[in-house]
């Protein structure tokens, strides 16, 4: 018998997050691994589906101010797949045993649920962005029978809109949907409520071609592929979603967005759905975005930090600080040096949004692949204030995602 869980890897190599006082490494299967912060050894393996009926979850849960955690997973019912929000309450015993599904919406395509790598959350809403990159469930079964890798089950429906779903946190029910231009995404930068609108910032691409760039054979031919750089071309964009728009009869073809200082728009389609058009936040490719998470996640914010995703840039190894108000940016770069995800760490008595430091793991190219470093930037001035460099016995790959864990004994 086919089992989704039996086909999933427990290789948790994407991200690291705290669940209460414990730390776990994530992939996108229901399996996560507890990590010893002192020794970095792998400890217990937790199967989240033992307590909630999910077959997949994102590798980017949201950690709330009270230490509770939310994530989005896929659940399977007789009527088809659903995208479900899972709540892990802060607990003195086990956050996993007390986990529960607090909201669910059916996937818009019954046999082709959208691929989910992250989601959004604000004070009153969960935000699930259904992109046209889907996982074909029939193909997944066929690939198993053919002993082929599950990556072949991805399907891209480039003629379909991207659908943004708002779910009420109070009722757990779908509140409103919006249609947007076709795009692929991995990461949401931030999202918040402002004057009866939802603002959501996303690192978006025209299509999922960049996933093809991650295959070894494609990387071997990158120097001779004239389209390689285009496959990575993406930009950070902002959508503004009106929560209580005028009726179509009154609004007609007018812009439904009444928020000031934005070029993003929303208009009714002939069928009564609302089509939202984004504005660009900067003209550089941005990936692995981070913010002052502890204070500004789900709230109005100004700055985010990212690495440059434009592989054909003069110096692709660049860290970017984007001002979402002025639509300006600052950069840090060093020749032949490739920084990882820039993690913002607030000052202990942080007084303003960018009062803190930015940490980034450095690796070097060419023949210097055993060279590793940790960069420390002043987040406010975006200038280097220190670094540590060392060499390793073997080459070190560029990291994906991390988390800063303070030494609580000194706090």
pLDDT tens column, 106-153: 999 989 999 999 999 999 999 999 999 998 888 888 888 888 777 788
pLDDT at 2 over 50: no
Spell out where 285-339 has E strands: 286-290, 303-308, 318-323, 328-333, 337-339
Average pLDDT over residues 183-192: 98
CA atoms within 13 A on the CB side of 252: 2
Lowest mean pLDDT among 25-29, 140-144, 353-357: 140-144
d(CA 130, CA 115): 8
Helix (H), strand (E) at residue 248: helix 248-251
Please tell me the predicted confidence (pLDDT) of residue 8: 60
Q: Label residue 409 by pLDDT band (50, 70, 90).
A: low
Q: What is the mean pLDDT of the chain?
A: 91
- pTM equals 0.94
Please tell me the predicted confidence (pLDDT) of residue 224: 64
pLDDT at 7 over 70: no
Q: Taking the CA atoms of the chain, what radius of gyration do you get in angstroms? A: 21
- Binding residues for Fe cation are 60, 117, 187, 401
d(CA 289, CA 120): 14
Question: Does residue 270 or residue 314 have the better pLDDT?
Answer: 270
Helix (H), strand (E) at residue 125: strand 125-130
- Binding residues are 60, 117, 187, 401
Q: Label residue 221 by pLDDT band (50, 70, 90).
A: low
Please tell me the predicted confidence (pLDDT) of residue 192: 99
Lowest mean pLDDT among 139-153, 169-183, 193-207, 383-397: 139-153
Please tell me the predicted confidence (pLDDT) of residue 1: 42
d(CA 189, CA 231): 21
Residue 145: φ, ψ to 5°? -65, -30
């Amino acid at each position: 018998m086919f089992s989704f869980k039996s086909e999933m890897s427990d290789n948790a190599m994407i991200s690291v997050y705290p669940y209460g006082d414990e730390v776990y490494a994530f992939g996108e299967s229901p399996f996560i691994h507890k990590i010893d912060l002192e020794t970095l050894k792998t400890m217990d393996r937790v199967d989240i589906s033992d307590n909630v009926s999910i077959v997949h979850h994102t590798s980017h849960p949201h950690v709330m101010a009270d230490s509770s955690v939310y994530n989005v997973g896929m659940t399977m019912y007789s009527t088809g797949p659903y995208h479900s929000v899972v709540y892990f309450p802060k607990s003195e015993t086990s956050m996993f045993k007390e986990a529960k599904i607090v909201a669910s919406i059916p996937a818009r395509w019954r046999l082709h649920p959208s691929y989910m790598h992250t989601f959004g959350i604000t004070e009153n809403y969960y935000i699930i962005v259904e992109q046209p990159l889907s996982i074909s469930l029939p193909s997944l079964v066929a690939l198993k029978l053919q002993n082929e890798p599950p990556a072949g089950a991805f399907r891209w429906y480039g003629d379909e809109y991207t659908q943004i779903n708002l779910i009420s946190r109070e009722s757990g029910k779908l509140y409103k949907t919006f249609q947007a231009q076709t795009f692929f995404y991995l990461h949401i930068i931030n999202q918040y409520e402002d004057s009866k609108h939802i603002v959501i910032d996303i690192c978006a691409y025209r299509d999922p071609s960049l996933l093809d760039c991650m295959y070894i054979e494609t990387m071997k031919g990158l120097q001779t592929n004239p389209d390689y750089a285009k496959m990575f071309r993406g930009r950070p964009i902002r959508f503004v979603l009106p929560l209580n728009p005028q009726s179509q009869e009154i609004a007609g073809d007018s812009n439904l967005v009444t928020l000031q200082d934005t070029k993003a728009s929303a208009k009714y389609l002939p069928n009564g759905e609302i089509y939202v058009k984004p504005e660009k936040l900067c003209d550089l490719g941005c990936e692995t975005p981070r913010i002052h998470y502890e204070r500004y996640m789900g709230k109005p914010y100004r700055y985010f930090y990212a690495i440059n995703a434009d592989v054909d840039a003069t110096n692709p190894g660049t860290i970017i600080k984007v001002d979402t108000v002025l639509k300006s940016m600052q950069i840090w770069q060093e020749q032949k040096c490739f920084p990882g995800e820039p993690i913002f760490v607030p000052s202990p008595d942080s007084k303003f949004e960018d009062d803190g430091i930015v940490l980034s793991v450095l690796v070097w190219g060419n023949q210097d692949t055993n060279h590793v470093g940790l960069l420390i930037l002043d987040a406010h001035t975006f200038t280097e204030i220190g670094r540590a460099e060392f060499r390793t016995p073997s080459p070190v790959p560029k990291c994906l995602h991390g988390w800063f864990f303070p030494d609580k004994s000194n706090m």
